[in-house]
Structure 1
Amino acid sequence: MISSWRRRRAARRAQKVVLMAGSSDEEEAAASDQVELLTMPNHFRCPISLDLMKDPVTLSTGITYDRGSIEKWIESGNMTCPVTNQPLSIRSLDVSPICIPNHAIRRMIQDWCVENCSFGIERIPTPRIPVSPMDASEILNNIASTSSRGDRQGCIQSLAKFKSLVRESERNKRCFVTHGAGTVLSSAFKEFSNSSSSSSSSSSLLQENNVIVFEEILSVLPFMFPLDEDARSQLGSPIAMHCIVSLMRSAGLCTRRNSVLALKEIVSSSDSGGNQVEALAVIDGALEAIFELIKEPICPTATKASLVITYHITTLHPTPTNERIINRLVEIGLVNLLVETLIDADKSISEKVLGVLNGICNTELGIHTAYDNSLVIAVLVKKLLRVSDLATDFSVSILWKLLTTRISRNENEVGDDALVEALQVGAFQKLLLILQVGCGESTKEKATELMKLLNLHRDRLECIDSQDFKDLKRPF
């Protein structure tokens, strides 16, 4: 920290010398006056960052710091004053040190900024007072009480206050998380879902007044991720997931994005995620809604969330019901969509797409549909060693399922054509490299078996060309 300050001081001095070099006496005097005017008073600097304080606060030791700097210091586990090394007084309500806003210093800094505005210095804004634990508890209690009474308007008003405070600062967000905001929001969503389901028809789930409160809850819920187990249990109830799926199918883009993020949180973080994945997959229109988010992307975050949900669906424990679910995904065109997406996908998308495709190839219909796609073998071979170790493992597994399944069914002519195609696009060389650089035991066994099959057809074409790998990007 000290060396950084010394470097900045040396840089300022060097800049002063450069400005004054070659100048006349008058210009030199003017430059000297300018440097003098722009010198920041030491008591305006934060002792930690050495930068101008934007929100000065004073600790119990009497030392003033910028709020952001001292909070980072405390969050790192330090409970002493950085300057005096004295222990900090603790507030009993939230077990955090007492930071008193120093309004006098803040006004002095603002006045200094205004006086020097001609030199490009902007006035620091008056900071908002962080939410107190008492205020956070009051807002959350209002959300809980209004949702239990079915008071949509009151709940929406409390949610608006909640959203405004959470967006103001990271500190406010942490305060709400500490007081169980995730559970309160999830419970409120479930309460309104239950009240909606008790109406005369299922279509009333998305009446206008219901949609508004659902959208408001989902808009602030991502701020509370990851949710605890109780919150995931509330949000993952069957009636709540029905409402989320309905919103994914008929609401606006932002709500569809927030809905799929909520579903991802339910299925990927819960200890009982398997049961909730099965419950989600059998909801009418759920698979189609997730498919549409992959086919017509809203944003990368929503696409990745949709792929994660689909991955959990395709990796369910093999049962006749789960196989029918995967076959439904194949029937609506997911395999071809995944192959097309894989062509120009980045690392994160590629890993998720390959994971989903690997799960789909656990079924006979999935293998048959993937094999019928003319691009699948070339694209899979291209992804070997080019994305990541995980993507390579998935690609080898899919190739193994596609090629060995054809051979085992005595479809020799079709299987031979596929092996020749794999040789033509360089599968043998890449599999050999995978074995040389090392891989997991399962991937090693599959790669070895594939190489044995490919080796039978190497005499049918020249398949080794060192130039094929001159631009190969390896993940090691």
Structure 2
Amino acid sequence: MLSSWRRKKAARRAAKNHDLEKNGSMELRIPDHFRCPISLDLMKDPVTLSSGMTYDRESIDAWFEAGNSTCPVTNQVLRNLEPIPNHAIRLMIQDWCVEKRSYGVERIPTPRIPITSDEVLEILSKVGAGDEQECREFVVKIRSLAKESKRNKRCIMANGTGRVLSSKFEEFSRDSIDRNVTILEEIMSTLTVISPFDDETKLILGSKSSLRCIVWCLRCGDLAARRNAALTLRSILPSDQQKVGELIEIEGTPEALVKLVKEPICPTTTKASLLSIYHMVSSSTPNYQDDVIKRFVDTGLVEVLIDTLVGCEKSICEKALGVLDGICNSSEGREKAYDNALTMPVLVKKLLRVSDLSTEFSVSIMFKLGKNEKREERGVIFEAVELGAFQKLLLLLQVGTTEKTKENATQLLKLMNLYRNRVECIDSLDFKHLKRPF
């Protein structure tokens, strides 16, 4: 009788748990009108289109970013792509989340309303017309809004913010850098947040007064100002070679850029500095290029580059090799490379090890050093053979590379072949990391 009672009790408990599970699953079912028609997930920021359909903001933004201009459900062509926040649905969803909190449902936070084009234009009008204090206040506000969300950043960029800020930057820098340094640093900080720049913004930032101010920040600013100046230069230099000439004439430019590589602030700043140096040493005019390279060589750039290459990440390695390749176009640059005992070991080490681009730059540098060397005995070619470069170059021709690199590698092999019987080659362990296609 006791066992029969226990069986009945267990059966009632199991039935009760089944009912709770059944009711629980019904309770936790998300109502259809709370789901986004695109993602089918609970909407966190419901917005309504002009078609009357409601979506989650993140999903509909991705839909528009893909180039669509229709309502996903009704397929209606939308004349206005600005969705309107649906506060009623959001409040209902938040209440539902609170009601189901015992099931582990968290209440969705109230989203911040994205900035509109009208609001951006109103802020920009105050930036353009205000004094220094008012201008600074609204510049900081723009930066804060741009960091808030990608949507805000796109809206801010699309309404000509770069042109307005760069114009104010030029205006304050032309007036007095020392007196306006605070607002100038604030503007440059905001510009780095809303990059990349359009052509007009680059043109304004490339003016003589603006460039002088950027270089001043590179030389005399704090860490944040120097970082922002390097990022700004990286954005404007590739667009106009004339700016390179104007920039190099400003006193202290090479020294400031090399210092950012020698005493790095962060990887992003190092990459930006290397890119700026690369554009400056790769000027199209040979005579002018030699003068620019000499100025950089005098700062100790070759030593800094080789020390950086000893142990650095892939992206920095590619840029440092690119700069060294440009430096080796001049006799002064090659002499410094010859004098550094680590030059050839570092170059051979990078072959077939970092990336295709690093290999191409390394081969190019080795070729420039090898064909221009005047020493006949135990020079860089002799050293390269000792380090195992001959085997690596042969393998490079087998796995494939660009025509230019193939030509340079072939010429290097001809030069190295003269020393193969006179030196004992060092077996390289680098081959075990190489992915061969055969």
Q: Alpha carbons of 1:211 and 1:52: their partners in 2 closer, same or farther (altered >3 Å)?
A: same
User: How far off is 1:24 after superposition?
Assistant: 4.7
Q: Is 2:359 the counterpart of 1:392? A: yes
Render the CA deviation track for 1:221-244: whole Å, top value 9, x for unaligned: 123322122111111111111111
What is residue 369 of structure 1 aligned with on the other side?
A: 336
User: How far off is 1:86 after superposition?
Assistant: 2.5
Does the 8 Å contact 1:386/1:473 carry over to 2? Answer: no
Q: SS at 2:70's partner residue?
A: coil
Q: Is 2:170 the counterpart of 1:190? A: yes
Does the 8 Å contact 1:311/1:356 carry over to 2? Answer: yes
What is residue 295 of structure 2 aligned with on the other side?
A: 328
User: How far off is 1:58 after superposition?
Assistant: 1.6
Q: Is 2:55 the counterpart of 1:83? A: no
Q: Is 2:166 the counterpart of 1:176? A: no
Q: Which moved more, 1:387-396 or 1:185-194?
A: 387-396
Does the 8 Å contact 2:127/2:139 carry over to 1? Answer: yes
5 Å matches for 1:134-173? 134-146=118-130, 151-173=131-153
User: How far off is 1:186 after superposition?
Assistant: 0.7
Specify which of 198, 212, 229 is matched with residue 199 of structure 2.
Answer: 229
Cα separation, 1, equivalents of 2:160 and 2:85: 27
Q: Is 2:422 the counterpart of 1:450? A: no
What is the number of equivalent residue pairs in this alignment?
A: 426
Render the CA deviation track for 1:179-224: whole Å, top value 9, x for unaligned: 111111111100111111xxxxxxxx234xx121111111111233
Q: Is 2:196 the counterpart of 1:206? A: no
Extract unaligned runs of 5+ from structure 1. Answer: 1-22, 91-95, 197-204
Q: Alpha carbons of 1:372 and 1:28: their partners in 2 closer, same or farther (altered >3 Å)?
A: farther
User: How far off is 1:60 after superposition?
Assistant: 2.7
User: How far off is 1:454 after superposition?
Assistant: 0.8
Amino acid at match of 1:85: N
Amino acid at match of 1:236: G
Cα separation, 1, equivalents of 2:75 and 2:45: 22
What is residue 4 of structure 1 aligned with on the other side?
A: none
What is residue 36 of structure 1 aligned with on the other side?
A: 26
Q: TM-score when scaled to structure 2? A: 0.92
What is residue 291 of structure 1 aligned with on the other side?
A: 258
User: How far off is 1:472 after superposition?
Assistant: 2.6
Amino acid at match of 2:243: Q
User: How far off is 1:141 after superposition?
Assistant: 1.6
Q: Is 2:51 the counterpart of 1:61? A: yes
Q: SS at 1:230's partner residue?
A: helix
Q: Alpha carbons of 1:164 and 1:419: their partners in 2 closer, same or farther (altered >3 Å)?
A: closer
Cα separation, 2, equivalents of 1:349 and 1:224: 24
Does the 8 Å contact 2:297/2:332 carry over to 1? Answer: yes
Q: Which moved more, 1:292-301 or 1:124-133?
A: 124-133
Q: Alpha carbons of 1:442 and 1:60: their partners in 2 closer, same or farther (altered >3 Å)?
A: closer
Cα separation, 2, equivalents of 1:60 and 1:473: 54
User: How far off is 1:427 after superposition?
Assistant: 0.5
| Poorly superposed stretches of 4+, deviation over 6 Å | none
Cα separation, 1, equivalents of 2:15 and 2:256: 74
Cα separation, 1, equivalents of 2:85 and 2:195: 30
Q: SS at 2:421's partner residue?
A: helix
Amino acid at match of 1:257: R
Amino acid at match of 1:213: I
Amino acid at match of 2:34: F
User: How far off is 1:473 after superposition?
Assistant: 4.6
What is residue 255 of structure 1 aligned with on the other side?
A: 225
Does the 8 Å contact 1:206/1:247 carry over to 2? Answer: no
Q: Give aligned-pair identity as a percent.
A: 53
Q: Alpha carbons of 1:32 and 1:424: their partners in 2 closer, same or farther (altered >3 Å)?
A: farther
Q: Alpha carbons of 1:468 and 1:84: their partners in 2 closer, same or farther (altered >3 Å)?
A: closer
User: How far off is 1:414 after superposition?
Assistant: 4.3
Q: Alpha carbons of 1:169 and 1:469: their partners in 2 closer, same or farther (altered >3 Å)?
A: closer
Cα separation, 1, equivalents of 2:126 and 2:371: 61
User: How far off is 1:264 after superposition?
Assistant: 0.8
What is residue 249 of structure 2 aligned with on the other side?
A: 282
Q: Alpha carbons of 1:218 and 1:119: their partners in 2 closer, same or farther (altered >3 Å)?
A: farther
Does the 8 Å contact 2:282/2:289 carry over to 1? Answer: no
Cα separation, 2, equivalents of 1:317 and 1:122: 61
Q: Which moved more, 1:249-258 or 1:433-442?
A: 433-442
Cα separation, 1, equivalents of 2:429 and 2:245: 48
Q: SS at 1:57's partner residue?
A: strand
Cα separation, 2, equivalents of 1:75 and 1:81: 13
Q: Alpha carbons of 1:467 and 1:226: their partners in 2 closer, same or farther (altered >3 Å)?
A: closer
What is residue 264 of structure 1 aligned with on the other side?
A: 234
Q: Which moved more, 1:185-194 or 1:386-395?
A: 386-395
Does the 8 Å contact 1:54/1:124 carry over to 2? Answer: yes
What is residue 214 of structure 2 aligned with on the other side?
A: 244
What is residue 427 of structure 1 aligned with on the other side?
A: 389
Q: Which moved more, 1:427-436 or 1:324-333?
A: 324-333
Extract unaligned runs of 5+ from structure 2. Answer: 1-12
Amino acid at match of 2:299: I
Q: Alpha carbons of 1:123 and 1:84: their partners in 2 closer, same or farther (altered >3 Å)?
A: same
Cα separation, 2, equivalents of 1:195 and 1:474: 60
Amino acid at match of 2:210: A
Cα separation, 2, equivalents of 1:374 and 1:25: 82
Does the 8 Å contact 1:57/1:100 carry over to 2? Answer: yes
User: How far off is 1:362 after superposition?
Assistant: 1.1
Amino acid at match of 2:377: E
Does the 8 Å contact 2:387/2:426 carry over to 1? Answer: no
Over aligned residue pairs, what C-alpha RMSD do you find? Answer: 2.1
Q: SS at 1:97's partner residue?
A: coil
Amino acid at match of 2:251: D
